[in-house]
Amino acid sequence: MMFRSQIVGCGAYLPARIVTNDELAGRLDTSDEWIRQRTGIGERRIAADGELTSDLAFHAARQALERGGMSGNDLDLIVLATATPDETFPATAVKVQARLGMKRGAAFDVQAVCSGFIFALAVADNALRLGQARTALVIGAETFSRILDWQDRGTCVLFGDGAGALVLNAVADAGPTSRGILSTHLHSDGRQHDILYVDGGPSSTGMAGCLRMQGREVFRQAVQHLSGVVDEALAANGLSPADIDWLVPHQANTRIIDAVGRKLGLSADKTVVTIERHANTSAASIPLALEEAVTDGRIRPGHLVLMEALGGGLTWGASIARW
């Protein structure tokens, strides 16, 4: 029997503390106007002292499970995307597993930075399609505030903390019109390491390090690769841009989001944009945006949703789901 991964629940969590552009402008040579014009960001959430990636992930996961009418013990698999794990090991996913009361199955992390949610979704979808698991929780959770150089105005204004989660159930595949993940498409190019990386880690400096970025080059490559992978995802499913109900992009920069939307010929009102309030939450940005658009009634059952992301590595990917 062929299986398909149906989305049965969606959850999100944001730390309470809001840091506005004006607050940053009080400590750095920057301004609300500069940040808004170049990025679309107005504010970001920052995790409290002692509030860890696993805490954010747990809250988002619990909400997703509740909405799916499930509990931790119904899960076979947790795949958690993060570039900011609580500890070098074990995986943040196993901390979430324990807190959810899940005593069976498997939990592990996936590392693809800002593309992490798409990569984790692909891993979970493949396991469900193969019958290796029947229920999976896919989480994107980050505390990027902990790996930022707060003296570097070129990077620290861009990121925020948060988490989002989806619960997937394997159902019999009833053909292209049935609901669920239609396809996932993953890419990476390790030669592009130097344009976006963290200058530390357990095997190099022994410390966590800070994010370093060549913003212009990342911008240029993002538009090019995201346009390419979106075309690939549409072609793989015999779809055209007009078939897509919602574009849910990784939220890195409104100018990147707009450029990809324009190349697709999608009108801006079909794109879910949360960057103004969340900034770039890396692997959490797509599930945070999904949760918002599902909760406010924009994304409804049967809608075709196109997700895309690019991040450090470089890594990039896309997925199409019938909600």
Ligand X SMILES: CC(C)(COP(=O)(O)OP(=O)(O)OC[C@H]1O[C@@H](n2cnc3c(N)ncnc32)[C@H](O)[C@@H]1OP(=O)(O)O)[C@@H](O)C(=O)NCCC(=O)NCCS
Dihedral, CA of residue 285, residue 291, residue 296 and residue 299, to nearest 10: 90
Confirm whether 225 is a catalytic residue. no
Among 14, 96, 133, 252, binds ligand X (CB under 6 A): 252
Is there binding between residue 111 and ligand X (CB under 6 A)? no
For residues 213 to 242, the per-residue mask of contacts with ligand X, x marking binding by CB under 6 A and - elsewhere, is: x-xx-xx-----------------------
Confirm whether 126 is a catalytic residue. no
Beta bridge partners of 309: 317
- Other CB atoms closer than 10 Å to residue 81's CB: what's the count? 35
Tell me how far, at minimum, the Cβ of 144 lies from ligand X, in Å. 10
Tell me how far, at minimum, the Cβ of 42 lies from ligand X, in Å. 13
Residues 131-160 that bind ligand X (CB under 6 A): 153-154, 157
Tell me how far, at minimum, the Cβ of 105 lies from ligand X, in Å. 31
Dihedral, CA of residue 230, residue 231, residue 236 and residue 241, to nearest 10: 90
Helix (H), strand (E), coil (C) string for 26-64? CCCCCCHHHHHHHHCCCEEEECCCCCCHHHHHHHHHHHH
Is there binding between residue 119 and ligand X (CB under 6 A)? no
Look-up of token digits 């069976």: 104
For residues 31 to 60, the per-residue mask of contacts with ligand X, x marking binding by CB under 6 A and - elsewhere, is: ---xx--xx---------------------
Confirm whether 114 is a catalytic residue. yes
Q: Identify the active-site residue in 114, 169, 210, 225.
A: 114
CA atoms within 13 A on the CB side of 198: 25
Do 213 and 253 touch, CB atoms closer than 8 A? Answer: no
104, amino acid identity: R
- Other CB atoms closer than 10 Å to residue 164's CB: what's the count? 33
Tell me how far, at minimum, the Cβ of 226 lies from ligand X, in Å. 10
Cβ-proximal residues to 3 (8 Å cutoff; 6+ apart), any chain: 128, 129, 130, 131, 170, 171, 172, 173
Total number of residues binding ligand X (CB under 6 A)? Answer: 20
Is there binding between residue 311 and ligand X (CB under 6 A)? yes
Tell me how far, at minimum, the Cβ of 256 lies from ligand X, in Å. 6
Positions marked catalytic? 114, 250, 280
Interface positions with ligand X (CB under 6 A):
30, 34-35, 38-39, 114, 153-154, 157, 213, 215-216, 218-219, 252-253, 256, 280, 310-311
